[in-house]
Structure 1
């Protein structure tokens, strides 16, 4: 039952988790009166990106040889220890499995393309996506490094009299934000960084976790793993945070630094009290 649930959940997770940080530095500076500066410099990765039409032939040939290795040499020459019938049976089974896997990869890639809003294997489509990002406020530079990895330089300033959510991608659906700052009714600011929370502390039981671990494994196949620092510097009162080391003194008030990696267990969180 858990396996079935994981299979059913996987497309939803694909639609909701297709962008991830790679190597990066992210800084959120919140003043005592609620003014803020946010900057992100580094990589943004398309999770699990792999063009099946481009990667499959070489990969498929290798897997096919492994599958039929009992009866065939690496060169493809039949071994005399197997009968012609056995050779034909093994080869047919292996080719059928490879065809099914290729069909599944193609379906997953199409789902990714639909969710992204562009074809990541099309250089012109990727360039157009990067150009749309650069046309939005705060995106100082966006360039495509290949293999599903963008290099970005983003910086913006404002006032937390309303929610701040980043990033927002044009034409994409179901983006899990890297950073969210929400102003509560009592004026407090709750900062969460869902995009910087890893899988390291999850219990391995349960269908949702199984599906998410599967997606995490796809992320490792498709590009660099998260590797960076998320830093909050604030002149506001820090009422709570989930950093193991807590906050440290800073010239502007207090500093909290989270190390983000593939084994990061918790989503970074902090509760700030600002005064206007």
Structure 2
């Protein structure tokens, strides 16, 4: 477990920079492993790309300057010294006011420090409008840098950008196995994936084309001794990628900062091979030469794992 955690921490590093994850949502998945190395895999349900903060991922817009949102006042000290304060009402308000307008009007002490509201001058309005433009330019530059990094890491998928996510779904449909990949909004995809063949090497789902970062939901990893290790590192449990990344400090380890659908559904593994190990809650059921292991992935303490030997 310690070695797995260290591996995940290294894998998580680029994702921590972007604050994003590709994860399952609600789904049903099945894997069949047959003697001779034949396999069948099916995944039907949701995929979701999760941003660390939806507000951070919203594309900035330059709104028309509205002088009605401009606020100007003078802070008047007891000796009559005036300090002008100007700000745009959409962005900020004074956080501390020693004496309110109402108090200043009723305390009868004109020498007391007080804040006095007034109309903004033309120069002040021009300054506020320029500040609004500069703020927008900074946000735009930051957005383009972050989304560019995410698009590179996830093959064009950018959370919060509906057009980019629609194109990403259309791109998936060009490849074998993807029978359905539809962007349904809110950073979620409705997908159906099916693959079958003779297993002779590593298998993973999903594989994202042209993505610098790959983090599969399900894996089949062959050992040198011939056994097949079935793993599901994205599917819940205290040893999942999501849990370890959050423990490691992603967004402060607070999943309230990562709006996402609950990972839930089922994973079923069927094989006529030898089950050497598994963490299924009920072990496996036998029907003739076939063994079946089922996981209800909602609330699992460990992500599904099994070790299978085929002849």
TM-score normalized by structure 1? 0.70
Gaps of 5+ in 1: 1-5, 58-62, 72-77, 86-98
Rg comparison, structure with higher value: 2
Moved more, 110-119 or 123-132: 110-119
Q: How does 1:60-99 map to 2 (within 5 A)?
A: 80=102, 83-84=114-115
- Residues 171-210 of structure 1 show CA distances to partners (whole Å, capped at 9, x for unaligned) of 21222111111222222111111121334899x9x99723
For residue 169 of structure 2, the aligned residue among 112, 130, 135 is 130
For residue 143 of structure 1, the aligned residue among 173, 178, 182 is 182
Q: CA deviation at 1:257?
A: 1.4
Gaps of 5+ in 2: 1-8, 64-89, 105-113, 117-134
Q: CA deviation at 1:256?
A: 1.1
In 2, Cα distance between equivalents of 1:207 and 1:137: 31
Q: 2:156 matched to 1:153?
A: no
SS at match of 2:249: helix
Kept in 2, the 8 Å contact 1:19–1:175? The answer is no
Structure showing greater relative contact order (alpha-carbon pairs closer than 8 Å, 6 or more residues apart): 1
Aligned pair count reads: 245
Q: CA deviation at 1:64?
A: 7.4
Q: CA deviation at 1:139?
A: 0.3
Q: What do you get for the CA RMSD once the two structures are aligned?
A: 4.2
Greater helix share, structure number: 1
Moved more, 181-190 or 250-259: 250-259
Q: How does 1:191-270 map to 2 (within 5 A)?
A: 191-199=230-238, 209-212=247-250, 214=252, 217=255, 220-221=258-259, 223-250=260-287, 253-261=290-298, 263-270=299-306
In 1, Cα distance between equivalents of 2:179 and 2:257: 26
TM-score normalized by structure 2? 0.63
- Residues 145-169 of structure 1 show CA distances to partners (whole Å, capped at 9, x for unaligned) of 1111011000110122211111101
Shift in CA distance, 200/191, structure 1 to aligned 2, threshold 3 Å = closer
Please name the residue that 1:28 is paired with: 31
Runs (4+) of structure 1 exceeding 6 A deviation are 67-71, 102-105
